[in-house]
Amino acid sequence: MTEQVAAASGWKRFWERGGWWRAVLLAVVYLALYLATGQLVGLIFGPQIDDENPLADVPTIFFGTALAIIVGSVLLLLFAGSLGWLRELFGRQPIGGRWWMWIAPAIVLAAALLRIFGTDYSRYSVGVVLAIYLTGLCIGFAEELLTRGLAVNLLRKGGYSERVVMLLSSLIFSLLHSVNLLTGQPPLTVLATMGFTFVFGVAMYLTLRVTGSLIWPMLLHAITDPSTMLAVGGLDETHGSVDQLATLAGTSTYLYLLLAIVAVFLVRGRVGRKDAVPGLTTPEGIGSTS
């Protein structure tokens, strides 16, 4: 029993130290497990997956995309639970936001609504639409828990400034999408996806800060991916819909880029000490809401 307690304490001490390389390590391990799960699902349920059209039908969506993400979500929750981090991940953020950060969730929501109302749903069955949005909920939960939840927590525990936390967590989020190279996507398409996910990651970080809760980035992410899938008819595609509303939503990429540039100069603060008092401004910026 004593050895088990010591092992558990060592496990917790290792991750409590935080730092960028632990955040990267966690992302790499998650990605490896996610890919391995996808391969296993493909071996077992391959005949039910349409390799040519990832949105072909409900079984293709569930077994081809959703199931591996669901397994990944469970693993991330178990990891967070083993460290006793669930309350700090899903509780109130230790540092607040500024009024200008509300621009981020406003852009995300507006772009998603434009795509939702600008999609030709006649191409899809009701079951496919529901399955895609359910998959989007899983994607939003898993990717935000990993990057804006666990990665941000590890980076903060490492003592980095919030500007660095924003940039590194967004970079990790972007690099996760490099795995699309393994699916045969053209390198330029993958690079475009990674560029978008980086600036979108900044918007999600700002949403985390200004709402004070991980739940809101999860929900906004959860409607962004499925509305994009339905609008363009695929996963991580860069071509747009011919519908004017969905095409207008595509301009949000430039707004994310502009917002990311502004954020580099305006985001301040640091949450790197356990004795930091949320909302208290100090000379080092500990707990600052700037």
Q: How does DSSP classify residue 147?
A: I
Q: What is the rounded distance in angstroms from the CA atom of residue 250 to the CA atom of residue 240? A: 7
Is 289's pLDDT higher than 50?
Answer: no
| pTM: predicted TM-score of the whole model, two decimal places | 0.89
Task: Assign 183 a pLDDT band (cuts: 50, 70, 90).
Answer: confident
Q: How far apart are CA 74 and CA 55, in angstroms?
A: 24
CA separation (Å) from 259 to 101, 121, 249? 9, 31, 16
pLDDT tens track for 127-156:
999 999 999 999 999 999 999 999 999 999
Q: Counting beta carbons within 10 angstroms of the beta carbon of residue 93, is it exposed (0 to 12), middle (13 to 18) or buried (19 or more)?
A: buried
d(CA 170, CA 172): 5
DSSP string, 107-138: HHHHHHHHHHHT--GGGS-HHHHHHHHHHHHH
Strands (E), the chain: none
Summarised one tens digit per residue, pLDDT across range 198-215 is: 999 999 999 999 999 999
Distance CA 17, CA 110 (A): 39
Task: Report the half-sphere exposure of 9 (CA within 13 A, side-chain side).
Answer: 6
Q: Which of the four pLDDT bands, split at 50, 70 and 90, describes residue 185?
A: confident
Q: Per residue in 75-116, pLDDT tens?
A: 999 999 999 999 999 999 999 999 999 999 999 999 999 999
Beta bridge partners of 286: 270
**Over 60: is that where the pLDDT of 280 sits?**
no
Residue recorded with tokens 């693993």: 75
**Can you give the residue ranges of every domain in the chain?**
2-266
The confidence band for 184, taking pLDDT boundaries of 50, 70 and 90, is: confident
Q: Read off the tokens for 224.
A: 């962004």
For the residues 208-227, what does the mean pLDDT come to? 97
Q: Is-contact 289 209, C-beta < 8 A? A: no
Nearest 5 degrees, angle CA 210-CA 223-CA 22?
60
